[in-house]
């Protein structure tokens, strides 16, 4: 049986520092060609859309798949959010699902760290130099 983590459990174990490190390693794997990240697959449903975002990270030995659904009638009809997210973590050796976790907190933290990682190489000195060149 896979480990199940709800939103608060994910928030209690996922630190910003850990997420920054994981995102930077994932970007490095993408740059080095050791990651497989196919295009997002969208599957329409009668009342919404399911999006599947799989990846394989060779060096991290990770096989995750993020599933996001967008169903605009959820709040009114089912008292659920319009957008739901879940992350599956599978064994790269067997394909067994090891963990099913709520994706809301994970996505929010990952989005923040992605922004930070994109700008981390830009130092204050380089910003000042660029600013003085345009003045």
Q: Check 66, 72, 76, 79 and give the catalytic one.
A: 66
* Cβ–Cβ < 8 Å for 17, 23: no
Q: Write phi, then psi, for 33 (nearest 5 degrees).
A: 80, 15
Please report where in the chains the tokens 């991290």 appear, as a residue.
60
72 classed as catalytic:
no
* Cβ–Cβ < 8 Å for 124, 112: no
Tokens of 119: 């700008």
* Cβ–Cβ < 8 Å for 88, 99: yes
Active site residues: 66
């Amino acid at each position: 049986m896979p480990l199940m983590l709800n939103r608060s459990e994910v928030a209690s174990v996922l630190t910003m520092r850990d997420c920054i490190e994981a995102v930077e390693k994932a970007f490095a794997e993408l740059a080095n060609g050791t990651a497989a990240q196919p295009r997002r697959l969208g599957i329409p449903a009668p009342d919404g859309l399911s999006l599947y975002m799989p990846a394989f990270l060779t060096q991290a030995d990770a096989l995750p798949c993020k599933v996001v659904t967008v169903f605009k009638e959820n709040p009114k009809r089912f008292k659920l959010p319009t957008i739901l997210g879940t992350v599956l973590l599978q064994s790269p050796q067997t394909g067994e699902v090891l963990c099913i976790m709520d994706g809301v907190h994970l996505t929010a933290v990952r989005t923040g760290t992605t922004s930070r990682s994109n700008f981390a190489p830009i130092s204050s000195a380089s910003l000042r130099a660029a600013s003085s060149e345009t003045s």
